[in-house]
């Protein structure tokens, strides 16, 4: 079974960046679900039109509308229902181009959420993954295995560098508990101050499964 990703999408510029990052994972064989979280019952037709326009940019992408007063909770519940292992966000509004900024909903899921979280930098343009930066403890096999699975699929190298890479992968704190994301404070500072590539934070103990036709363990 291929990995399922959920893209938090409302048609804004930041969420269009998230679409670009979702295409990178779709190229690895991931199933893509675009999700719009409405905070109240409203004009579903408009939301469906917006989602359909975004879905056209990714082959076989699916769409979902979730009604929930909390975006992060709506995405969390949808991930459970869809069996998703990764939720993708764009950067926060007014994040400078080429930098990564945490949306509130992304920040909430980085603090104990049940899935890996990826964030696209502002103004992101998808590019081949040639160098993957990895920041994780030596015994963090989930983050390490994820990095090498992606590298194998793309013919990329894995490095401990932060700059000059095409994707940055971070592990979670061990005390997060199995299957939970908890970004270490030092990693959060690194992302806020130095990240210029998409960021992927892997849940504790759970490697992302890229065993698709492009990657065989």
In whole angstroms, give the CA distance from residue 93 to residue 90.
9
The pLDDT assigned to 215 comes to 38
The pLDDT assigned to 1 comes to 52
Locate 119 and state its tokens: 């964030």
In whole angstroms, give the CA distance from residue 178 to residue 184.
15
Locate 152 and state its tokens: 């194998």
Nearest Cα to 172, choosing from 121, 211, 114?
Answer: 114
Locate 21 and state its tokens: 């990052």
The pLDDT assigned to 153 comes to 86
The pLDDT assigned to 59 comes to 93
The pTM score is 0.94
pLDDT tens digit at each of 217 positions of the chain: 579 999 999 999 999 999 999 999 998 889 999 999 998 877 789 999 999 999 999 999 999 999 999 999 999 999 999 999 999 999 999 999 999 999 999 999 999 999 999 999 999 999 899 999 999 999 999 999 999 999 998 889 999 999 999 999 999 998 888 999 999 999 999 999 999 999 999 999 999 987 544 333 3
Question: Domains in the chain, start-ordered, CATH in brackets?
Answer: 4-201 (3.40.50.12370)
Query: Is 205 in a helix, a strand, or coil?
Result: coil
Contacts of 28 (CB under 8 A, 6+ apart): 3, 150, 153, 154, 210, 212, 214, 215
Phi-psi region of 75 (alpha: psi -120 to 50; beta: other; left: phi over 0): alpha
How many Cα neighbours within 13 Å face the side chain of 130? Answer: 5
């Amino acid at each position: 079974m291929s990995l399922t990703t959920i893209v938090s999408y409302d048609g804004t510029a930041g969420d269009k960046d998230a679409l670009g990052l979702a295409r990178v994972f779709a190229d690895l064989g991931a199933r893509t679900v675009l999700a719009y979280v409405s905070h109240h019952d409203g004009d579903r037709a408009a939301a469906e039109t917006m989602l359909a326009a975004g879905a056209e940019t990714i082959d076989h992408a699916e769409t979902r509308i979730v009604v929930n007063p909390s975006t992060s909770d709506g995405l969390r519940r949808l991930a459970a229902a869809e069996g998703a292992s990764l939720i993708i966000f764009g950067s926060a509004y007014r994040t400078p181009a080429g930098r990564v900024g945490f949306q509130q909903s992304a920040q909430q899921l980085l603090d104990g959420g049940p899935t890996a979280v990826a964030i696209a930098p502002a103004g992101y343009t998808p590019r081949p993954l040639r160098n993957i930066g990895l920041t994780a403890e030596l015994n963090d096999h989930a983050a390490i295995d994820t990095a090498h699975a992606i590298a194998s699929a793309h013919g990329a190298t894995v490095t401990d560098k932060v700059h000059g890479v095409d994707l940055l992968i971070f592990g979670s704190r061990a005390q997060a508990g199995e299957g939970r994301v908890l970004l270490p404070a030092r990693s959060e500072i690194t992302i806020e101050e130095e990240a210029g590539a998409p960021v992927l934070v892997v849940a504790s103990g759970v490697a992302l499964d890229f065993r698709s036709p492009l990657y065989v363990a």
